[in-house]
Amino acid sequence: MLMDAHRLPRAAQGIGLKPRHMAELIAERADIDFLELHAENHMSAGGPMRDDLAAIAARYPLSVHGVGLSLGSAEPLDDQHLARLVHLVDELNPVRVSEHLAWSRLEGDFYNDLLPLPLSEESLEVVARHVDTTQQALGRQLLVENPSLYMALDNTLSEADFLTELVRRTGCGLLLDINNAYISAENLGRDLSDYLSALPLSAVGEFHLAGHSLDTEATPPLRIDDHGSPVCEAVWQRYAQLTDALPAVPTLIEWDTRIPSLPRWLEEAALARHYHASAARAPLARLEPAS
């Protein structure tokens, strides 16, 4: 039987679901509020991994995080892929369904990355249309995640204005990836406080936190969103500020490369609880830069 998935405790903490941890998570209920899976890894017709996922779904609330729908492609959505997503969501009844403000598909080829989207009225119309189609197909709200960026594009809309208008037009929610926001601010030299203050924070339905690396061989050095290390201190500080403003929003700790043991990952989630609690003890008036 599936969990009553739309309910999560206040300030819930989650971690990603990886094949290497599935047996452990099934054998013993881990101290975690929810698990998040990458949709494309679980679009199987049958077999043992699907059986394991059903066992996981019976024990934990799940969040479905898509990485391949390509909301920003200047062509119609891939109907077959959308149908597979709908099927997975119908089966799992997850607490959240999310995708990215990015694109990865063009003219029959799939580029396995979250490619950057120039932000303009035209791209806003494209993404709004695709979000609308997806929400109608799913019969529920989609959260759209802010990107981590490595190059400046010729935008005619700011990212915060774009996301604000997307929320207004489609009724979608936001998945605020604080690590992504930090990386983009550092790489593009934008003011993180201004960016966060301009977002429609009331639409945030989930936080993402992750580690990143620094490529010092690039000129200038670039922060790379590799999800392969613990969350950095500057991101934790922003998280504490944001949870002060949004105390009930669930948080997911991502880790996709150099994946740690399950206990180590759970420690990182425990650390998120600590920062969340410390924010509650010492509320901040506004989103000040982390010192």
**What residues line the site for another protein (CB under 8 A)?**
40, 43-50, 67-69, 73-75, 78, 80-81, 103-113, 115-116, 118, 120, 122-123, 126, 149-152, 187, 215, 218-220, 222, 224
Q: How far is the CB of 26 from another protein (least distance, A)?
A: 13
Residues 176, 163 contacting (CB under 8 angstroms): no
Q: How far is the CB of 106 from another protein (least distance, A)?
A: 5
Place of tokens 């059903």: 54
Residues 45, 80 contacting (CB under 8 angstroms): no
- Residue closer to another protein, measured from CB, 1 or 45: 45
Tokens at 151, concatenated:
């190059």
CA distances from 70 to 77, 105, 128, 160, 185 (A): 7, 6, 12, 20, 23
- Residue closer to another protein, measured from CB, 4 or 79: 79
- Residue closer to another protein, measured from CB, 108 or 263: 108
Residues 53, 23 contacting (CB under 8 angstroms): no
- Residue closer to another protein, measured from CB, 21 or 276: 21
- Report d(CA 5, CA 74) in Å as an integer: 34
Beta bridge pairs of residue 106:
109
- Residue closer to another protein, measured from CB, 44 or 278: 44
Burial status of residue 213 (CB atoms within 10 A of its CB: 0-12, 13-18, 19 or more) = middle
Residues 132, 167 contacting (CB under 8 angstroms): no
Residues 45, 84 contacting (CB under 8 angstroms): no
- Pairing type for strands 251-253 and 13-16 reads parallel
Q: How far is the CB of 273 from another protein (least distance, A)?
A: 32
- Residue closer to another protein, measured from CB, 106 or 270: 106
Q: How far is the CB of 187 from another protein (least distance, A)?
A: 7
Q: How far is the CB of 241 from another protein (least distance, A)?
A: 27
Q: How far is the CB of 110 from another protein (least distance, A)?
A: 4
- Residue closer to another protein, measured from CB, 69 or 166: 69
Q: How far is the CB of 47 from another protein (least distance, A)?
A: 5
Q: Cα torsion at 46, 21, 148, 161 (round to 10°)?
A: 70
Task: Return the axis-axis angle of helices 48-59 and 19-27, rounded to nearest 10°.
Answer: 50
